[in-house]
Amino acid sequence: MTPGGAGVQHHEAETAGSVGTAHPGRAADRPAHPDDAFEATAGQVLAGYLNARCADFLRSLRLYGESGSDTAAAAEAASALRCSARRIGGTLHTFRVLLDPVWADQLRTELGWLSGTLAQEYACTARLHRLVSALGRLSGPGPVPGSGPVPTARSGEGAPTATAGALTVGASRAGALLERQLTLARTRSHSAALQALGSSRFHAVADAVAVLASEVPLAPVAGAPAAEILAAPRSAAERRLLDAVSALPLARAAHPYNAEALVHGLATPSDGEAQDAPWHQVRLLLRLHRYAQEVRQSGGSPDPVLAEAGRALDRHRDAAEAAAASANAARTPRIAPATAYALGVLHADQRLEVEAARYEFQRIWQRTAVTAP
């Protein structure tokens, strides 16, 4: 996919002077000494972080435009682009009080639209690979449609011959059905991304980020010392995270194979989504908390425990969406019983992966440095 071609070069050229100095590893983006962060104003610290993230965004946008038919390079650049967009949007949300609120809300909404649009195509690809790999693991050796580019699956324990035979018979058709459905969804997402990247809306977002790379519209309160002003928004983000985590059934998740995720996964789609929603919300709040920590650290190393907890919740989200895709495929009219059986086994397997991710998150959470204020 090519996001606007010459338009990308135009955005890069407009900000070459200011963006070139806004790299997260350079002294211009952060105080020369840790103590300087407490002497700088809140606006200086926040602007330095946003300038660096905008530079990352524009650099990724240029690489994405130059990727051409290189799908691997395009995927890598799109991932970096979404990462930068999320960080900018999350920072605008958490530190909204230090910025022009109307401008911050508008840009955050547009960045969310761009990130979500770009994510769909790659999410469909990853979901297809995940499900085909799981089918291969569950059904044992044998060809499964779409399994060529998928990494080698880990071997599972043997099952009774009759059950394994029924699963093997349906796995091939189930894989073909999933491949048709998810390939169609990926194609539609690809077309939507191309349309978005050629739209005036996208170019307006790129223009806004290009301006933000050198000029941040700060509120008057941002002129106060960083040590006094930045703590309150960070604490608010932390408190929202802690409140959301406290509402999770962590005590039950602490027991492996508790079957809660599996049982709820067998309910209606709306009930299953409602059961997963609090975990997805914690994932988003944890991300906002991590971004707020990055602003405080002015480009320093992220908390490895929080990053690990975030990866566990990413696995939870991926497994939940894969389970939903297999359940959706199983609702296809007039499919063979063996195909439906294979999709049911696949759905149960992915719900067990949801359960495992919850167990992993609660285990990691016990080691987090997050403490209530």
Domain range for residue 221?
A: 6-365
Nearest to 91 by CA among 282, 208, 240, 234: 234
What is the pLDDT, as a whole number, of residue 306? 92
CA distances from 163 to 32, 131, 140, 169, 350 (A): 65, 19, 12, 10, 18
Maximum separation of any 2 CA atoms in the chain, in Å: 72
* Residue ranges in the chain whose pLDDT is less than 70: 1-38, 141-166, 256-273, 298-301, 369-373
In a domain, 266, yes or no: yes
The number of domains in the chain is: 1
Q: Write the CATH number for 204.
A: 1.40.20.10
In a domain, 372, yes or no: no
Contact 139, 334 (CB under 8 A): no
What is the pLDDT, as a whole number, of residue 372? 43
What is the pLDDT, as a whole number, of residue 124? 96
Provide Rg for the chain, Cα atoms.
Answer: 23
- For the entire predicted model, the pTM comes to 0.79
Cα(222)–Cα(101) distance, integer angstroms: 13
Cα(211)–Cα(243) distance, integer angstroms: 36
Burial of 30 (0-12, 13-18, 19+ CB in 10 A): buried
In a domain, 370, yes or no: no
What is the pLDDT, as a whole number, of residue 141? 61
Residue with tokens 């809660």: 260
Burial of 16 (0-12, 13-18, 19+ CB in 10 A): exposed
Distant-in-sequence, close-in-space partners of 234: CB < 8 Å, separation ≥ 6: 94, 292, 293, 295, 296
What letter does residue 34 receive in the DSSP assignment?
T
CA distances from 215 to 39, 47, 52, 96 (A): 21, 8, 12, 16
In a domain, 181, yes or no: yes
In a domain, 373, yes or no: no
